[in-house]
Structure 1
Amino acid sequence: MKPELLAKMWISLIAVAFPLSGEAAMAQGSFTGNASLTTDYTWRGISSSNGNPAIQGGLDYANGALYAGVWASTIDFGDASSADLEVSYYAGLANVLGNGVSWDLRATFFDYPGAAEEDLSGLELSGSLSYGFDSGFWVGTDGAFSPGEDYVYASVKAGYALSSSFSMDAALGSYTSDTDGDYADWSLGSTISLGPAAIDLRYWDTNIENFAPADERIVLTLSISS
C-alpha cells in the first residue's frame, strides 16, 4: 500500500469519527514534534544503522483517540541495501482508560526513499495493551504483522517509574518468519526525563549468531520533544 493511499484511508476514518468541518476538527487537535540522536538505531534487537549513530525526527498530530504522524531516521544496512533513509507514516487509535488500561491500534507504512531495492517498503499492522498500577509499575504486550510479508512479531514488557523523571523497563520479543527465520530479542533500559528532553540508556541482545547487527550492544539516545 502506498503512503498516499494509507493517508486517504485514515483521513476518511477521521471524517467519519469526527463529523465536523475540516477547520473545526483540526482546531481540536494538536501537533507535537520530536528529534533525537542515538548511538545506534536498534529496531527489535537488530541494528538498522550498522552500529553507527543515527539522526531521527518526527511530527505527530493527535485529535482525541485518533493520531497520525511521520517519523524518519538515517539508516545503514551495509551491503544488504543501498537505502540510507527510513521514513515511516503511521496512523491509529489509542486511549488510556480510567482503570489503568492503555491500548493502541496502529497502521504503519515503512518507506525507503531512493533505495534501489523495490521490496523494502511495506505496511505493518500492530497493537498494544498495557496496565499501569498505582505504585508506578506497569506491564504490557504488543504484536505486529505485515499483510504483504510473512512475519509476526510479539513482545512482553514491564517497567517501573521510580519518580516522575526516572523510569526503568525491560522487554522480551519474538520474531517469526518463514523466509527470514525466527529469533528472540531482549532489552533492559532506563530513561531520565528533563523537561522536554530525555536521556535513554539501553542494553540490547538477540539469540542470532554470527550476524554483527544482532550482537549485544548498549545504546544511548538523546531526544527532545515539543
Structure 2
Amino acid sequence: MEIKMNQLFRKYAYGTLLASLMTFGTVNANAEEESAHSISANVLLATEYLYRGITQTNEDPTLQGGFDYGHASGFYIGTWASNLEFNPSTTDAASLEIDFYAGYGFGAAGLDFDIGYLYYMYTGQNEDAGGGDYDFWEIYGSVGKEFGGSLAPSVSVGFAWSPDFYGEDDDGIYVNGSFGMSLPAGISPYFNIGYQDVSGDKTTPAGFDYWHYAIGASKDVGPLTLDISWNDADNYCSGNQDACEAVVFSVSSSF
C-alpha cells in the first residue's frame, strides 16, 4: 500500500493519504486476513521544502522520506523526516524535522473522510536563540470526493488545529481546499489554496494570518512521480518575498 501525507497539511506534490487508504481497503476487502496489514516507504527529492507556502530550507534543495503502517480498516501510523535550514544568520541550529502521525480514514455517504494527530519535532534547535520551542502538535481532518469519468476530478477540504503552534505561539488554525483531475498522457493538474491563522504569544505577540496557493501538475514515470508547481503566500514575507514564492520541482517514489 502507498501511504502519503495528506496534501491538506503538508506541502509536497504527494497524492492524498486518504485516497491511498480507500484504495487499499477496497483492494483488500476479499483478501486473506494476513494481507490486511501493510508497511510502505516513500522518498522525495525537491528543489525546495515549502510548508504551507513558506520555505523551510532557505530556498535550498530538500531530501525527504518516511515509513508508514496501514491496516485495511483505515487505521494508519507513520513517521516522516526532512532536512531544514532555519535562520542561517542566527545561533538556531535546527537542521532536521521529524514528524509522527496516526489517523483513521473511512468512507461514508459517497465521501472519503480522514482524521488524525500529527506531531512535529525539530532536532538541534536552540530554544535560547529567541525563537522558542519549535515542537508542536496538531489534530487534523478532511473530507474529499472523487468523481468518475475520463477526467476523474476530485475535490477535498480540510482543517488542522494546534493549541500551541510553532515557536510557542498560541492557537493555530489552518484550512485548505484542493481540486485535481487526470488528463490524457497521465498528467494530473491540481490547485490548492490554504489559510493559516495564528494567535499571538511568545514569538509573534500580535499574531498573524495569510493565504497561500499552489498550481501544479504531476506525472508518473515508471516507479517515479514527477511534479512541478508554482507556490505563493500572500501577506507573510513582506521583507523577503523569495521565501514565500517559488517554483518547486520534485521527484518521488513509494514502495
* Residue identity matched to 2:239: N
Aligned to 1:21: none
Whether the 8 Å CA contact 1:205–1:214 is kept in 2: the answer is: no
C-alpha deviation, 1:78, in angstroms: 2.0
- Partner residue, 1:28: 36
Which residue pairs with 1:174 in the alignment?
195
- The residue number in structure 2 matching 1:137 is 153
User: How many residues are paired up?
Assistant: 202
Alignment partner, residue 224 of structure 2: 197
Give the deviation of 1:28 after TM superposition. 3.2
Contact 1:31 1:60 in 2 (8 A): yes
Give the whole-Å Cα distance in 2 for the aligned partners of 1:39 and 1:132. Answer: 30
Aligned with 1:52 (options 60, 65, 78): 60
Instruction: Describe how 1:97-176 pairs up with structure 2 within 5 A.
Output: 99=110, 101-117=111-127, 119-135=133-149, 136-149=152-165, 150-163=171-184, 165-176=186-197
* Whole-angstrom CA distance in 2 between matches of 1:164 and 1:146: 40
2:100 corresponds to which residue? Answer: 89
Cα gap change, 1:171 to 1:29, in 2 (>3 Å): same
Kept in 2, the 8 Å contact 1:57–1:73? The answer is yes
- Name 2:9's counterpart in structure 1: none
Identity score, percent: 29
* Counterparts of 1:173 and 1:203, CA distance in 2: 14
Q: Tell me the secondary structure at the aligned position of residue 239 of structure 2.
A: coil
Cα drift, residue 97 of structure 1: 5.1
Q: Which residue number corresponds to residue 71 of structure 1? A: 80
Q: Is the 8 A contact 1:75 1:84 kept in 2?
A: yes
- Write the distance in 2 (CA, Å) between the matches of 1:57 and 1:71: 6
Q: Contact (CA 8 Å) 1:46, 1:213: kept in 2 or not?
A: no
Name the counterpart of 1:210.
239
| Higher normalized strand content (fraction of residues) | 1
TM-score between both structures, scaled by the size of structure 2: 0.74
Normalized against structure 1, the TM-score is what? 0.83
Q: CA deviation at 1:164?
A: 7.9
Q: CA deviation at 1:147?
A: 2.6
User: Any stretches of 5+ residues in structure 2 without a counterpart?
Assistant: 1-32, 166-170, 201-206
CA RMSD in angstroms comes to 2.1
